[in-house]
Amino acid sequence: MEAFDAVDIIRTKRDRAELSEEQIDWVIDAYTRGAVGDEQMSALAMAILLNGMGSREIARWTRAMIASGERMDFSSLSRPTADKHSTGGVGDKITLPLAPLVAVFGVAVPQLSGRGLGHTGGTLDKLESIPGWRASLSNEEIIAQLEDIGAVICAAGSGLAPADKKLYALRDTTGTVESIPLIASSIMSKKIAEGTGALVLDVKVGSGAFMKDLDSARQLARTMVELGTDAGVATSALLTDMSVPLGLTAGNALEVREAVEVLAGGGPADVVELTVALAREMLTAAGVPDVDPAAALVDGRAMDVWRRMIAAQGGDPDAALPQARETEVLRAETDGVLCRLDAYGVGVAAWRLGAGRARKEDAVQAGAGVEIHVKPGETVTAGQPLLTLHTDEPERFGRALEVLRDAVTVQGAGAGETGSGDASAGHGSIILDRIGA
């Protein structure tokens, strides 16, 4: 005999009432073990999306998802731990240089990452383009690598917040991904269960992100910071611009190549800026302030940790990265200024070229994606390459070009001096705000 009826719980939230702690505990547990069906949880998720949740409900929902599985314990490590989570964007390869960079300073980074779905890329998909690299590690291997090298990027085990894994897949197919309570509890249940001592959240804002405006991004950030702080995790958030793709690549091997450029002391300015800013946040939260992360990119220390981290997981850091068999160039049709390069459009194009997946079981092409030659605010001439498209299957070019033509705007010379937000997007700081405990 079940303690509650799922239909009663759906009606409660449908009618804008608050769920009790006992109702929340039961519905998460019952859904995890199959006593509540997908169709019932779909209805509840939609009611939550439409009617929201109070802070007490969100906190209890998060705790119930943590309680559905195991919790990792890093207390045996000789160094403090700090992690970063991004809410997802286009060209967001920051985890790759960030984890080894933070490890340089004696802070362990247990970066449990995921795969891409839709227009946002996945960290594991990127790293799997490195020959031999493996994503799946046991808890014992994770602990050993953190103690020895200081950084690990790998797949989360099935034992961490299994309720979230099941609910996340359901939300993606029922139009309920954008719910702030469900986003916050999904992210924070995994990160708290992971056992890190400090957490920095990179909350993306703009067309290529789930949060399209600053107000909703701030609401999400505050909710997650509060959840982390209440759980004893030192938590802060940076709100960062995702109206324009991050860096000059969107795709798997393409982004690994760019991340290695950053680790070698080069790379695009926006990728370097965000990597260093997040590193400072993580190091400060872990009790290592007043160090200069940027110096460790320039002098090779971060690259040394990267090479050891990749090799420890079976990868060859010296191996050539996969390249797509076919390329197509999108060129400027007129002289002028690139005033707009829409992140969402570039992300969808990379997805259509084969860099992403529509379903979790889909394969991805390691070499597919979009290479960016010009960023907003820069002057272009007619015929100049704006973007290069990469894929193994040339029949994919047509649909990718369809979305890119709507994502790119070139205006006549002088348009970049009007002060419009799009035209100046390439020149301001990528960091829009900070939310702390």
- DSSP secondary structure string for all residues of 88-149: --SS--THHHHHHHHHTTT-BEEEEE---BTTB--HHHHHTTSTT------HHHHHHHHHHT
Residue 85 annotated as catalytic? yes
- Give the pLDDT confidence score for residue 356 in this predicted structure: 83
The angle subtended at Cα 171 by Cα 85 and Cα 221, nearest 5°, is: 35
Among 25, 83, 92, 164, the active-site one is: 164
385 touches 330 (CB < 8 A): yes
Domains of the chain: 6-52 (1.20.970.10), 82-319 (3.40.1030.10), 326-422 (3.90.1170.30)
Closest CA to 316 of 46, 81, 128, 91: 128
Residue 360 annotated as catalytic? no
- Give the pLDDT confidence score for residue 414 in this predicted structure: 55
Which pair of structure tokens corresponds to residue 60? 């209890």
- Give the pLDDT confidence score for residue 413 in this predicted structure: 63
Residue 164 annotated as catalytic? yes
pTM of the model: 0.92
Among 171, 218, 301, 307, the active-site one is: 171
Residue 11 annotated as catalytic? no
- Give the pLDDT confidence score for residue 349 in this predicted structure: 96
312 touches 148 (CB < 8 A): yes
- Give the pLDDT confidence score for residue 415 in this predicted structure: 45
- Give the pLDDT confidence score for residue 158 in this predicted structure: 76
Q: CA-to-CA distance for 80 and 74, rounded, in angstroms?
A: 9
Among 63, 165, 190, 396, the active-site one is: 190
The helix/strand/coil state of 298 is helix
Residue 190 annotated as catalytic? yes
Q: CA-to-CA distance for 62 and 58, rounded, in angstroms?
A: 6
435 touches 216 (CB < 8 A): no
Q: CA-to-CA distance for 319 and 329, rounded, in angstroms?
A: 27
Residues contacting 53, CB < 8 A, separation 6+: 18, 19, 61, 181
Looking only at the bridges linking them, the beta strands covering 151-155 and 109-113 are: parallel
Closest CA to 353 of 331, 337, 339, 370: 370
Residue with tokens 């995790």: 233
Q: CA-to-CA distance for 101 and 410, rounded, in angstroms?
A: 37
Among 60, 84, 85, 340, the active-site one is: 85
Average pLDDT of adjacent 10-residue blocks, the chain of 437 residues = 92 97 97 95 97 96 95 94 94 97 98 78 92 95 97 89 88 86 94 94 94 94 96 96 96 97 97 98 96 97 98 97 97 96 96 83 89 96 97 97 95 53 54 92
Q: CA-to-CA distance for 184 and 433, rounded, in angstroms?
A: 18
Among 186, 207, 236, 243, the active-site one is: 186
